[in-house]
Structure 1
């Protein structure tokens, strides 16, 4: 675990803040003041560590049901990223396969204060293996490398993905689980600066949580449409997404008419209701909207809205323990689904299927890191998957995962 106080971050070049859900009125004048980075092997409770670190820097998170004042001259709030592996740890799930992006921490909390951000630099991403190249006398240095993205290499083949779907169906047949979300991974080599490519993801249609976060040797770019949890005025909100079809008139009709998709969706809504009930006032949980069809890029997706009143004395740590990892990317029952995920997915989920967004006094807005990519020193990484039920068709599940990844891959490859 590492913590950086102001003296440790002032040597980094200032950057325009691009964190999802950061206050619009403050983005142009935010400066980093402190940073916490933690990995699962560090030990301890990441939810408690996050709350303690933020409280120590003046972000009030001990009672989310109480109104809090935004200080326009002091600390504004913080970016918070929590990996799927850290979420599984909080839930007591089985350890999953190793992450394909070991440079990426499992918890990042970056505290921002109001100030003069100054001019944005070319990039804050600093790959460890990039060093200044000596230039011979009289010779002009080579220009900065242009963006290049190599071929994608999948962590499992379509046949292996199909076998994993069948294994989940067999587990459902035995009564071990009702639904499991399976996620695949792919990586591609790159040359140049990955931050502009990752930042482009935020421009994808429907990217409610578009933004980036970076450190030394790692960066995350998010285009997620899904709310993991939002807290404002003491009200808790989650918006699970489950159910996908091509964004055509026929695709919309198919999604609305699909008994399989609706049953899968309602199962996850019930799981999310249960998660919120753990940290809500008794009797306050309600479904505000059920199975609303919305568009993300060239896909229709079904989304519901579940809300509740925060229980008295609810703090950030207990909230994270209740909602992480998100039910729509695990399955039901959650712990049994995590066991299947750990047994079947060949690599860890890295930057995907976790939480990423903004935490401030009295306001939290965290997206679920679907449609998310990450960079390490020499590769870009993407993940995509879907929920598996007894009625799942293996070939259709493989095709759905590819359709979800395609817009992200295409934008990353753009010059």
Structure 2
């Protein structure tokens, strides 16, 4: 089923109608929720980058290369004492398809094979987009803009094991697979878009990447360019949370901590604010979507540059994917995310561009982020040392 309405309100109405307390988070921490048969236990939630942009008044960007996947999917679950797993009670989708079981059009009985990858741009075209982003920064249109590329390949066989390998990549804070009729999404995201837990709203922006070696760690920690880029996004995330009417003072709990994802070091910060007045999911999504670390600053101006520079839509990537529970929300930013339709497997990777960016280095960084996902999809085993 499709619905062209406001994505944030569509999701909130659906989840609230299925018994989840998403209209007022401030009271959920002190509530005791029933757990008997048929009572809600939570919902899986996915919001595309395009839907997130629309929520804040930005352009939707280029068309998605996976048009069969809806822009918003919510799947509600209830407690079922007769089953070891939760039971799906209803699905809400905004787009051309309903959520349901994945059915591969390629035929699951054939062996898994991935054909040649087709990139949305060549290395030279990617470098030219980086140069164009730097020119926009030079004009004062933006301070930073994130540029993302897309790649896809034909496949045969059952994509399930390949998607499970993607979801299991080391360093994933959000590892999982969401399926629908004729499509599936797999994420191995290390980044928290937004979490609501214990009376606080939390976001953990990631910006800054180096190889996961001792030298790479020293280089990341010592890079003035990476730190400046990171702090700019932390400030953007602080402003996003501060725009929420129901929260108190925003603080940076941790700044520029180095974490590992597969064979890469990445810099992460933790930003949070207490919930002091009623706050709902719709307001929360409008404040944080799409994530600042995959857009840039100022956010609306960066979204305009993204729509101008990227030849292929971000599809399922750079959006939100996670869980809405009865007493918490935990949504990952859907970086390091792949998707399949009935014929092709898709993935995306990119990076933040500042005035100090080097075109070749930015192209290499995007390739480094995509490499573990390509290897997981193909079934090879890269070394993450």
| TM-score relative to the length of structure 1 | 0.85
- 1:43 deviates by 2.0
- The equivalent position to 2:34 in structure 1, one of 63, 71, 93, is 71
Aligned to 1:386: 351
1:355-374 matches, within 5 Å, as 355-374=320-339
Q: Which secondary structure does the structure 1 equivalent of 2:26 belong to? A: coil
Aligned to 1:321: 286
CA contact (8 A) 2:104 2:182 kept: yes
- Distance (Å, rounded) in 2 between the aligned partners of 1:226 and 1:158: 26
Q: Which secondary structure does the structure 2 equivalent of 1:292 belong to? A: strand
- 1:361 deviates by 2.0
Aligned to 2:72: 107
- 1:254 deviates by 0.4
Q: Which secondary structure does the structure 2 equivalent of 1:336 belong to? A: helix
Aligned to 1:43: 4
CA contact (8 A) 1:155 1:186 kept: yes
- Distance (Å, rounded) in 2 between the aligned partners of 1:94 and 1:105: 17
- Distance (Å, rounded) in 1 between the aligned partners of 2:85 and 2:176: 18
1:236-247 matches, within 5 Å, as 236-247=201-212
- The equivalent position to 1:166 in structure 2, one of 109, 131, 143, is 131
CA contact (8 A) 2:42 2:323 kept: yes
- The equivalent position to 1:251 in structure 2, one of 216, 219, 222, is 216
Aligned residues: CA RMSD: 1.7
- Distance (Å, rounded) in 2 between the aligned partners of 1:220 and 1:261: 30
- The equivalent position to 1:126 in structure 2, one of 86, 103, 127, is 103
Structure 1 residues not aligned, in runs of 5+ = 3-37, 131-142
Structure label with greater radius of gyration: 1
Q: Which secondary structure does the structure 2 equivalent of 1:211 belong to? A: strand
Question: Does residue 92 in structure 1 map to residue 57 in structure 2?
Answer: yes
- 1:283 deviates by 4.6
Aligned to 1:56: 17
Structure 2 residues not aligned, in runs of 5+ = 87-99, 381-385
- Distance (Å, rounded) in 1 between the aligned partners of 2:314 and 2:85: 34
- The equivalent position to 2:273 in structure 1, one of 290, 308, 311, is 308
Question: Does residue 82 in structure 1 map to residue 47 in structure 2?
Answer: yes
Aligned to 1:181: 146
CA contact (8 A) 2:151 2:346 kept: yes
| TM-score relative to the length of structure 2 | 0.91
Aligned to 1:261: 226
- 1:70 deviates by 3.6
- Distance (Å, rounded) in 2 between the aligned partners of 1:250 and 1:264: 20
CA contact (8 A) 1:293 1:300 kept: yes
Deviations 1:159-210 (A, max 9, x none): 1100100001000001000000000000000111112211222221110000
- Distance (Å, rounded) in 1 between the aligned partners of 2:335 and 2:365: 14
Question: Does residue 288 in structure 1 map to residue 235 in structure 2?
Answer: no
